[in-house]
Amino acid sequence: MSKQSRLVTLEEYIIQAQNKFPGATGELSQLLRDIGLAAKIISREVNKAGITNLLGVDGSMNVHGESVKKLDLFADNQLISALDRSQITCMVISEENDGVVRLNSDGGKYIVYLDPLDGSSNIDVNVSIGSIFSVYMKQPRYENALVEVDALQPGIRQVAAGYVLYGSSTILAYTTGLGVSAFTLDPSIGEFILSFDDYKIPEQGTIYSINEGSYNSWQEGLKKYIKYCQQEDINTLRPYTARYIGSMVADLHRTLVKGGIFIYPASKKYPEGKLRLMYECNPLAFIIEQAGGLATDGEKRIMEIVPEAIHQTTPIYIGSPQNVEMVKTFLQAN
Ligand code: AHG
Ligand code: MN
Ligand code: MN
């Protein structure tokens, strides 16, 4: 992980990265810049949400029956219109929209998945929230009309993915498959400044992150693993520390920086897990793998799951490689 001595903006960095590929058309670079712009606008609104009356519910339910907060809709609109403007994205799938959203340019070659506002239950209490994106190429087909099935590609086909964390500062991290780059928003100049250009997750961490309220309905192997995390053993730095923010982006960003494991398992309430494969798990798995970590549903690599529906969910175990390998041994033994 190298720290930069000269200030490099997100825009400059994207252009420099593009210049390393002589045949690049610049379209993916444009798409990333569009997301950067929407992120700045969302960040500004997040920071003044209490003043401008953007806190609180807007009254409708999203496709998952959860109440939609005003900022969710604001973020959804900003991201979709930023992508629509540059005419290189043909289709968007967002948590806030039931079906696919076809954009004006159906000739555009990218398909983008969005969780426009992640951690929305934390909006009203001033706790970190985020945005997540995941980018695929439209696959060539005989028919021209774009349909949902065009978007059902496994995570290993992602050409880019990233997140924005609206925390004590606003951070944008992304990958195009060549490591993870992270930028911090300097609000005084309105620019994302490169903080790290090859982020690596610690091989092993001492933090576990899971909503323990559902303990009684977990599978046996997971219960035993969490007890293992809590047992005292000076040689393996146990007991581990428990941390759970309830915004996946924030929990994953901490996991990336400090190491450890984040788990959202199957439970009685969510037999197939709660987190969405296409716009929560795959993009964050791509980031974590590019940083040297692992992401599994307990059996399969998250990015190899073949999707059947755009809003499907999956259990997820993600983080430092040694922690994820350890939980897998517990799951397999029970
Ligand atoms: P969203 O706000 O996009 O619906 O996502 C919330 C998700 C995720 O961010 C978080 O990790 C998880 O829900 C928390 O769920 P529990 O409250 O069940 O722990
Ligand atoms: Mn979410
Ligand atoms: Mn959301």
pLDDT one-digit tens code per residue, 248-293: 999 999 999 999 999 999 999 999 999 999 999 999 999 999 999 9
Arithmetic mean of pLDDT, 108-130: 94
CA atoms within 13 A on the CB side of 163: 30
Which tens digit of pLDDT belongs to each residue from 198-211? 999 999 999 999 99
Contact by Cβ (8 Å): 61, 39: no
What the chain holds in terms of domains, given with CATH numbers, is 2-197 (3.30.540.10), 207-332 (3.40.190.80)
> What pLDDT is stored for residue 333 in this prediction?
93
Which tens digit of pLDDT belongs to each residue from 211-234? 999 999 999 999 999 999 999 999
Contact by Cβ (8 Å): 128, 166: yes
Whether 292 lines ligand 1, by a CB cut-off of 6 Å, is no
282 Cβ partners below 8 Å, 6+ apart? 113, 134, 155, 158, 161, 302, 303
pLDDT confidence bin for 61, thresholds 50/70/90:
confident
pLDDT at 69 over 80: no
The residue contributing the CA closest to ligand 1 atom 15 is: 246
> What pLDDT is stored for residue 144 in this prediction?
66
332 Cβ partners below 8 Å, 6+ apart? 221
Pocket test for ligand 1, best of 117, 118, 210, 318 (most atoms within 8 A of CB): 118
CB within 5 A of ion ligand 2: which residues? 115, 118
**Residue 4, phi then psi, degrees to nearest 5:** -85, 145
Which tens digit of pLDDT belongs to each residue from 3-51? 556 899 999 999 988 888 878 889 999 999 999 999 999 999 998 877 7
CA angle 277, 280, 286 (to 5 degrees): 90
> What pLDDT is stored for residue 65 in this prediction?
79
46 Cα to the center of ligand 2, angstroms: 16
Position in ligand 1 atom list of the atom nearest CA 270? 18
18 Cβ partners below 8 Å, 6+ apart? 24, 26, 28, 29
> What pLDDT is stored for residue 3 in this prediction?
53
For the chain, count helices (H), then strands (E): 7, 15
144 Cβ partners below 8 Å, 6+ apart? 106
Which tens digit of pLDDT belongs to each residue from 144-192? 667 889 999 999 999 999 999 999 999 999 999 999 999 999 999 999 9
The distance of Cα 102 from the centroid of its chain, to the nearest Å, equals 22
Contact by Cβ (8 Å): 146, 100: yes
Pocket test for ligand 1, best of 280, 281, 317 (most atoms within 8 A of CB): 280
201 Cβ partners below 8 Å, 6+ apart? 255, 256, 259, 288, 291, 292, 293, 319, 320, 321
Whether 211 lines ligand 1, by a CB cut-off of 6 Å, is yes
> What pLDDT is stored for residue 283 in this prediction?
98
Whether 209 lines ligand 1, by a CB cut-off of 6 Å, is no
76 Cβ partners below 8 Å, 6+ apart? 94, 95, 96, 97, 114, 116, 117
What is the rounded distance in angstroms from the CA atom of residue 313 to the CA atom of residue 278?
A: 8
The residue contributing the CA closest to ligand 1 atom 6 is: 119
Nearest CA-CA partner of 103 in 92, 114, 95: 92
213 Cα to the center of ligand 3, angstroms: 21
The distance of Cα 15 from the centroid of its chain, to the nearest Å, equals 23
**Residue 137, phi then psi, degrees to nearest 5:** -85, 145
247 Cα to the center of ligand 3, angstroms: 9
Whether 119 lines ligand 1, by a CB cut-off of 6 Å, is yes
> What pLDDT is stored for residue 60 in this prediction?
81
Q: Which of 70-74, 153-157, 204-208, 318-322 has the lowest mean pLDDT?
A: 70-74
H runs (alpha helix) in 104-219? none
Question: At CB < 8 A and 24+ separation, what contacts does 296-300 make?
Answer: 296/324, 296/328, 297/273, 298/265, 298/328, 298/331, 299/331
Contact by Cβ (8 Å): 255, 201: yes
